[in-house]
Amino acid sequence: MNIKKRLISFLSASVMMLIPFQGIYASAETPADAKDELTDGTFTYELIDGSYTIISCDTSAIVTDIPELRNGYAITAIADKAFVGCNFISEINIPKTVKTIGINAFAGCSNLKKVKLSEKMTSISEGAFMSCPALEEIEIPDSIKSIGNYAFYGCTSLKEITLPESLSDLGTMAFAECSSIEKIDVSECDGYVFENDILYDKDKKKILRASAKIAGEITIENTVESIEPGAFSMCGELERVYFPQSVTYIGEDAFGYCAKLKKADLSEGLNKIAPIAFKYCYALESADIPTTVTEIGEGAFYNCPNLTRVIIPEGVKSIGMGAFLSCTGLKQAVIPKSAEIIEDNAFGFKEDSETGEYARVEDFKLSVYSGTAGEKYAKSSKLNYTVADKSIKKTAFVIIACGLVIAAVVIALIIMSKGKKGASAEVRKSDKAAKEKAEEESYKKIIE
């Protein structure tokens, strides 16, 4: 399976693993008598415990209102995937009798623009409105306590959302890859903070979602411990990010499709870069991995064609499949002795966008240590490589890496002491230039 399919599969796995077959409601508690299933030409219903569940909708239907009653029975639920393929529906009103809507209930409804939810609902299920690209407006009632994983993933026309007062659980990637989202109103919701175009949990330890209009350079606050999956995905004007030492985790697709992101200043303290964290960051130029990182996930830097410099320090143990796949500007890399797992196509390969076939990147070369996983990977992948001298090269790497750490810490302290708004443009520019010069000189020494 090619990396693109693997990444798509990875993204949707948490939803698809939960999606049962269409007949989920034909369970042991469902009457077997055929008369308990009803159709009116638009909807198909199933009678369960004295009320109707809509199990499917005619894909050619043009409807706005879901009925409250059928044959004297209340309609209280909408089944998993019930409206999948209903691409002629532009607006839907869910009546107050409905208490639940299933997983992926309206996923992929390409023309759905407006939704009004029932006031009896307490949750929005996983992937309920996933990949509804025309969705612009949804009224979330105060009764909603949880929004599931991927609930609004890929709703690229959604500009504003209001989180209700009762909300206490916002699922993973609930608003990931919403490329138009600008405002998240939390004025009535105590569980979350929206500040400087960024949505946090109430303690500001997690960044959950950023406004798509966020632009230029940003400095992550030093209270933040994790950048949650999809947090900055499709923030197309973001150019540079400064990370504090408090950040230990960068989640899946956290910066996916940040097309103008040139630099991510990662700090010591970071432990893991999750799969596809920086996928399709076309402008990204360098990736200097902190010495505290132990794992680089599958496709972490997939298709970053302008990436020309990567520093992977001692301490990294695992480099996932396709971690640097289709980074065609990257011509050399050093794999440390500590790397125990290096999966297929991690370095030195590019993927054909049409066929999905792999080919080696021209003039790519690895520097590895003798008898290590790095050497094994280079041989099995038939890549050009050199074996680093164990004593001299390792010592040089450690000294240079330590120098980079010290420089990064000093500059991070300067930035934090000045504050995001306190430091003058001249000071920040000077600090940045000094750090980049030091990094460039050190990188040249490492790869020589």
What is the pLDDT, as a whole number, of residue 60? 96
What is the pLDDT, as a whole number, of residue 353? 83
Beta bridge partners of 201: 192
Residues with Cβ within 8 Å of residue 167, at least 6 apart in sequence: 144, 145, 146, 147, 189, 191, 192
Q: What is the DSSP letter of 36?
A: G
Q: How far is CA 290 from CA 312, 313, 315, 316, 411, in A?
A: 8, 7, 9, 9, 15
Tokens 């608003």 locate to 175
Give dist(CA 39, CA 61) in Å, integer. 13
What is the pLDDT, as a whole number, of residue 59? 96
Element (H, E) at 432: helix 425-447
What is the pLDDT, as a whole number, of residue 36? 77
Give dist(CA 168, CA 188) in Å, integer. 12
What is the pLDDT, as a whole number, of residue 420? 44
C-beta atoms surrounding 116 within 10 Å: 17
Amino acid at 418: K
Structure tokens at 258: 């940040």
What is the pLDDT, as a whole number, of residue 128? 98
HSE at residue 200, side-chain half, CA atoms within 13 A, is 17
C-beta atoms surrounding 191 within 10 Å: 14
pLDDT tens column, 53-65: 999 999 999 999 9
Residues with Cβ within 8 Å of residue 210, at least 6 apart in sequence: 197, 198, 199, 231, 232, 235, 238
List, for the chain, all residue ranges whose pLDDT scores fall below the cut of 50: 1, 9-34, 391-396, 399, 414-415, 418-429
Give dist(CA 249, CA 206) in Å, integer. 10
What is the pLDDT, as a whole number, of residue 4? 58
Structure tokens at 277: 């964290």
Q: How far is CA 396 from CA 148, 386, 399, 402, in A?
A: 49, 16, 5, 10
C-beta atoms surrounding 156 within 10 Å: 16
Structure tokens at 28: 């042991």
Nearest in space to 46 (alpha carbons), one of 76, 19, 16, 18: 76
What is the pLDDT, as a whole number, of residue 304? 98
